[in-house]
């Protein structure tokens, strides 16, 4: 049954900080570590201009370099020690809800998108940070349920947008069907209804179609989604089917959503010819800005123009994330917002 006093805030809700997990030589970033660190520096600098940053650092990370970087931003950068397998804070970081108006950190199980990679260290990061006081004593609820932050989108009013391919993957919660999963989402996240997308994917994606690569709430009545306009592209049919299903979704009051298509970036490939999951849907909303991933392709500027229209009261800031997609994620994937009320003011 839905807990009426539990709510998962929308990303545009006021935030106390954004969490990052820093890349290091013992991760898959080893062969491109300098480029990855440069990308993370840019992300930290952009966020730090607007709000505090929490950084989880493996012992292999040069913490001094991050502390030096912190002097370049007006907001605090809090550095904590936590061993890590990788850098995808969106999926191993805490999902913060409000219960009776008070924040609670939900620490869901992270199994690297259905056991695709080693994840024991990443699964412990939220607890490790909590033990060190990173979240100022905010209650922590460790949940025996596999869920990644990139797999859920909240409108802040009780509606969640998810994909069937991700949440129903047998490698995540094999004992639960759709109704069982909805029950957990109601109990732990306050979901009053769940909109299930049954179509859409990105080549090169390891997450089983995380919603944050495909379709995102921009307000309670607006959804931005990736749209492929090339009939020769392998994604064309699946994304057309996704759009058609989005057109059937309505807000709680029965009004169809305002659907905003995002540009389809030119295909990006790794050196070995693998297509990489470039998507403008992997943006991050922070307090005064929206950080938009770009990829050095002609569609970047059109995407930025759309975001200026979607978020007229926030600065739109581009971050080149061409390096990040080499490891099959992008800007939203490496960040996790910490909503207001968790950190002392």
Q: Which of 57, 166, 228, 333 is catalytic?
A: 333
The answer on pLDDT for 205 being more than 90 is yes
pLDDT band at 51 (very low <50, low <70, confident <90, very high): very high
Average pLDDT over residues 248-276: 97
- The domain that holds 260 is classified in CATH as 3.75.10.10
Q: Residue 1 has what pLDDT?
A: 34
Say whether pTM exceeds 0.85. Answer: yes
Q: What is the tens place of the pLDDT at every residue in 244-260?
A: 999 999 999 999 999 99
Quick one: pLDDT at residue 128? 98
Tokens 């913490």 label which residue? 63
Average of per-residue pLDDT across 193-209: 97
At residue 4 the predicted structure's pLDDT band, cuts being 50, 70 and 90, is low
Is residue 345 one of the residues assigned to a domain? Answer: no
Find the mean pLDDT for residues 265-280.
Answer: 96
pLDDT at 2 over 50: no
Could you tell me how far CA 88 lies from the centroid of its own chain?
Answer: 9
> Is 333 labeled as catalytic in the residue annotation?
yes
CA 291 from centroid of its chain's CA atoms: 12
Q: For residue 128, give every residue at least 6 positions away whose Cβ sits within 8 Å of its Cβ, in sequence order, or none.
A: 56, 80, 81, 82, 83
Please check the confidence at residue 148 and state whether its pLDDT lies above 80.
Answer: yes
Indicate whether 180 belongs to any domain: yes
Q: What's the confidence (pLDDT) of residue 264?
A: 97
Give the pLDDT confidence score for residue 221 in this predicted structure: 98
Share of the chain above pLDDT 90, in %: 98
- For residue 345, the model assigns a pLDDT of 75
Distance in angstroms (rounded) separating the CA atoms of residues 56 and 282: 21
pLDDT, mean of residues 83-109: 97
Strand partners, 196: 162
Confirm whether 344 is domain-assigned.
Answer: no
The two three-digit tokens of residue 281, written as one number: 């849907």
Q: What is the mean pLDDT of residues 283-310?
A: 98
What kind and span of H or E run contains 36?
A: helix 33-48
Is 149 within the bounds of a domain? yes
Residue 1 inside a domain? The answer is no
Question: For residue 79, is it within any domain?
Answer: yes
> Would you call 153 exposed, middle or buried from its count of C-beta atoms within 10 A (0-12, 13-18, 19+)?
buried
What is the number of domains present in the chain? 1
Average pLDDT, the chain: 97
Structural domain contains residue 300: yes
Residues of the domain holding 209: 6-339
């Amino acid at each position: 049954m839905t807990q009426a006093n539990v709510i998962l805030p929308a990303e545009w809700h006021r935030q106390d900080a954004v969490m990052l997990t820093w890349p290091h030589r013992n991760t898959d970033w080893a062969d491109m570590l300098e480029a990855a660190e440069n990308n993370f520096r840019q992300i930290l600098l952009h966020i730090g201009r607007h709000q505090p940053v929490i950084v989880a650092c493996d012992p292999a990370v040069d913490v001094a370099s991050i502390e030096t970087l912190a002097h370049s931003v007006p907001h605090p950068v809090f550095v904590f020690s936590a061993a890590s397998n990788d850098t995808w804070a969106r999926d191993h970081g805490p999902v913060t809800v409000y219960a009776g108006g008070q924040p609670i950190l939900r620490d869901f199980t992270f199994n690297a998108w259905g056991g695709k990679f080693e994840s024991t260290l990443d699964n412990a990061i939220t607890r490790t940070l909590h033990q060190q006081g990173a979240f100022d004593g905010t209650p922590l609820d460790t949940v025996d349920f596999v869920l990644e932050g990139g797999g859920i989108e909240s409108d802040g009013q009780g509606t969640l947008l998810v994909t069937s391919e991700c949440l129903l993957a047998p490698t995540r919660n094999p004992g639960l069907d759709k109704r069982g999963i909805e029950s957990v989402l109601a109990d732990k996240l306050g979901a009053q209804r769940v909109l299930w997308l049954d179509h859409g994917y990105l080549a090169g994606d390891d997450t089983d179609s995380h919603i944050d690569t495909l379709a995102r709430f921009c307000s309670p009545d607006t959804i931005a989604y990736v749209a492929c306009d090339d009939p020769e592209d392998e994604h064309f049919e699946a994304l057309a089917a996704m759009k058609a299903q989005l057109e059937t979704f309505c807000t709680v009051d029965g009004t169809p959503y305002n659907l905003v298509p995002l540009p389809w970036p030119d295909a990006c490939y790794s050196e070995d010819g693998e297509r990489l999951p470039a998507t403008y849907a992997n943006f991050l909303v922070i307090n005064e800005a929206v950080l938009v991933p770009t990829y050095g392709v002609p569609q970047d500027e059109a995407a930025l123009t759309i975001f200026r229209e979607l978020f007229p009261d926030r600065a739109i800031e581009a971050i080149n994330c061409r390096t990040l997609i080499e490891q099959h994620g992008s800007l939203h994937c490496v960040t996790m917002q910490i909503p207001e009320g968790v950190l002392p003011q």
